[in-house]
Structure 1
């Protein structure tokens, strides 16, 4: 199918597709029943065809409604469509095999039942059953193929998102390394020089006899001390930055945590609370920990649910993020674990620790623990 054909097909509303399938099924039944049908046969045909309207919400029920019409007539459209829909919506192979057997059995039976079980027709009935069973597996395989295609498309999107995330993490790591180097230079060179200025100004203030000179030395010493305080603050910010290009803008705190969870695309619950008055750096660290944990859930555990629990006691506070086992298959993705490395570095700035380990139920948990009063 060409790109133009696919675009036109996608423009057809779902109700239009279902209505067309019902109309085609009715035509198939009318061809088989014309001239020799009883009211009960027509009722079975109408029930089976109308059941296709339920195939998207109740695929198994729609399939079961097509079975009576198979007993009385040699139809193909409605049962095949219903069987395909069941195969496209379930991963239970035993259920699909059972549906195929029911389809073949209903197609093979001849009403009245005594005709089917008569001695001269048993061999032909068995042959017809095997042939019908093989035919029934065609829509089952096609439905499974469509389901696998959807899984692959979803996994490709997840892979692309993971690659973008890895690229962002790499950029963060490079930027964090450059900022750490800049912080070292400021601490080792600039701070040292300013400290010498402060010391020399202090000495001049003590030794000078002229009041004007002492006032000038005092002003230089005061400005130098203030400059040192500003430099220490800037070095702390550079070392604590996570590496994003927007780190110098106002950073998220606990006030944005609920919005982060709402926009994560994961079924997540938030519980607990933190002690009042924790520092802005601690709030930012907790926010980044939750952000990275939910990103990992989305990347490595598709379909999983997550729980974010804030907690504190007399000596420590922290956050624990736990996710359940994935409900959909995931693609193994290459990872340099830069995210967890960055989280551990942030935890160390709070004199805390970060642990990350799998759970017994097949999920994963990440916990940040930091002292309430760091040393």
Structure 2
């Protein structure tokens, strides 16, 4: 049975019951005046789902005269299934009970007549029944809605768990790609650069240069792909922009180190060069935070007509530090990045117990604009 057919069937049954009761009620005194309240109540029941309270009030005249109670019971059920206000429901129930007993009281000499009192009890119970049934149906609807909300919440949690597992797998894949492919391609680029310098054959020199350039491009694309894999499955689905020199102030400010930036880089540096400078400073500040607690750092960026130099120097630590295991992958990665740009990395302790990390890049590779 379709959802539209079922309410129509219920309406038809209610109308038939109302008509049967009206006929049985006024059969002894057929009168148009007696049928009018019943017809009004029956027509009002058709819109009981939209306006239950006005419909209930419209059915009360049929209860008083000629005494048809079926429309009032149906309307009282509609009110109870819509509202939760117990004061409203109690008032409607009391009004219905009084209306039910009113025709009977006209034949009693006193309100305390036993028949009237029994009728009052009977009709009060008759009024309470549809109220309780309506409240039961109302609670059932609310429970169905709560169960639906719980099911939606569980489905949302399942989707979040699946996304978390997918993000973890992507991060693992990204790490493996970076650790394996990046290292091998870096070695190819370094060996191609060495062959380009050592060979005297022009064709071999050109081929080695092409291999080196292709390796550099492959590494750059690989880093973008790794970042894309790490970004996938996270709330921010777009690829996060790669850092540039404009992000240095935020990097230094968030480093939790007393660091000072001195000097500036020339304008127009290529993005790979800007990333190399940013990653070098980032790695240096990370090492200061790990291995030199309480130390301050100075970041010096200097450039001449031919070279660009970035030097990060930190003072000796002022607090004891916890010895952490390190494979020096960070410095190895910086060395590989500098080598691809024809640069050099130097790292070592200073005479006063501090540490210095220096990156030197040729400006011809950096591609800076000339002023």
TM-score if structure 1 supplies the norm length? 0.58
Structure 2's unaligned 5+ residue stretches are 242-371
Q: Measured at CA, do residues 282 and 214 of structure 1 come closer, stay the same or move farther in structure 2, by a change above 3 Å?
A: closer
Q: Following the alignment from structure 2 to structure 1, what is the Cα–Cα distance between the partners of residues 158 and 111?
A: 72
Q: Measured at CA, do residues 28 and 88 of structure 1 come closer, stay the same or move farther in structure 2, by a change above 3 Å?
A: same
Aligned counterpart, 2:185: 194
Instruction: Tell me, yes or no, if the aligned pair for 1:174 and 1:243 is still in contact at 8 Å.
Output: no
Compute the displacement of 1:25 (Å): 0.4
1:53 partnered with 2:46 = yes
Alignment partner for residue 182 of structure 1, among 167, 170, 173? 173
Q: Measured at CA, do residues 221 and 120 of structure 1 come closer, stay the same or move farther in structure 2, by a change above 3 Å?
A: closer
Alignment partner for residue 152 of structure 1, among 130, 143, 148? 143
RMSD: 2.9
Instruction: Tell me, yes or no, if the aligned pair for 2:231 and 2:240 is still in contact at 8 Å.
Output: no
1:85 partnered with 2:78 = yes
Instruction: Tell me, yes or no, if the aligned pair for 1:32 and 1:75 is still in contact at 8 Å.
Output: yes
Aligned counterpart, 1:136: 127
Q: Measured at CA, do residues 14 and 123 of structure 1 come closer, stay the same or move farther in structure 2, by a change above 3 Å?
A: same
Instruction: Tell me, yes or no, if the aligned pair for 1:54 and 1:61 is still in contact at 8 Å.
Output: no
Q: Measured at CA, do residues 112 and 84 of structure 1 come closer, stay the same or move farther in structure 2, by a change above 3 Å?
A: closer
Q: Following the alignment from structure 2 to structure 1, what is the Cα–Cα distance between the partners of residues 84 and 178?
A: 60
Larger mean Cα displacement after TM superposition, 127-136 or 25-34: 127-136
Compute the displacement of 1:119 (Å): 3.4
- Aligned residues between the structures: 242
1:167 partnered with 2:158 = yes
Q: Following the alignment from structure 2 to structure 1, what is the Cα–Cα distance between the partners of residues 133 and 240?
A: 53
Secondary structure of 2:28's counterpart equals coil
CA deviations on 1:164-198 (whole Å, 9 max, x unpaired) are 22222211111110100111112222212212221
Compute the displacement of 1:209 (Å): 1.9
Q: Following the alignment from structure 1 to structure 2, what is the Cα–Cα distance between the partners of residues 230 and 221?
A: 14
Larger mean Cα displacement after TM superposition, 70-79 or 93-102: 70-79
Q: Following the alignment from structure 2 to structure 1, what is the Cα–Cα distance between the partners of residues 240 and 63?
A: 68
Secondary structure of 2:46's counterpart equals helix
Structure 1's unaligned 5+ residue stretches are 1-6, 252-279, 284-375
CA deviations on 1:140-185 (whole Å, 9 max, x unpaired) are 1111212222222233333333322222221111111010011111
Match runs of 1:344-359 below 5 Å: none
Aligned counterpart, 1:22: 15
Aligned counterpart, 1:223: 214
Compute the displacement of 1:239 (Å): 0.4
Compute the displacement of 1:112 (Å): 8.2
Q: Following the alignment from structure 1 to structure 2, what is the Cα–Cα distance between the partners of residues 281 and 94?
A: 59
Secondary structure of 1:209's counterpart equals coil
Secondary structure of 1:110's counterpart equals helix
1:103 partnered with 2:93 = no
Aligned counterpart, 2:297: none
Instruction: Tell me, yes or no, if the aligned pair for 1:197 and 1:224 is still in contact at 8 Å.
Output: yes
Instruction: Tell me, yes or no, if the aligned pair for 2:228 and 2:239 is still in contact at 8 Å.
Output: no
Q: Measured at CA, do residues 75 and 218 of structure 1 come closer, stay the same or move farther in structure 2, by a change above 3 Å?
A: same
Instruction: Tell me, yes or no, if the aligned pair for 1:71 and 1:111 is still in contact at 8 Å.
Output: no
Larger mean Cα displacement after TM superposition, 174-183 or 35-44: 35-44
Q: Following the alignment from structure 2 to structure 1, what is the Cα–Cα distance between the partners of residues 29 and 153?
A: 62
Q: Following the alignment from structure 2 to structure 1, what is the Cα–Cα distance between the partners of residues 28 and 240?
A: 82
Alignment partner for residue 34 of structure 1, among 11, 17, 27? 27
Query: Which protein is bigger by CA-based radius of gyration?
Result: 2
Secondary structure of 2:103's counterpart equals coil
Q: Measured at CA, do residues 120 and 184 of structure 1 come closer, stay the same or move farther in structure 2, by a change above 3 Å?
A: closer
1:43 partnered with 2:42 = no
Compute the displacement of 1:90 (Å): 2.0
Match runs of 1:199-348 below 5 Å: 199-242=190-233, 280-281=238-239
Instruction: Tell me, yes or no, if the aligned pair for 2:105 and 2:116 is still in contact at 8 Å.
Output: no
Q: Following the alignment from structure 1 to structure 2, what is the Cα–Cα distance between the partners of residues 197 and 122?
A: 111
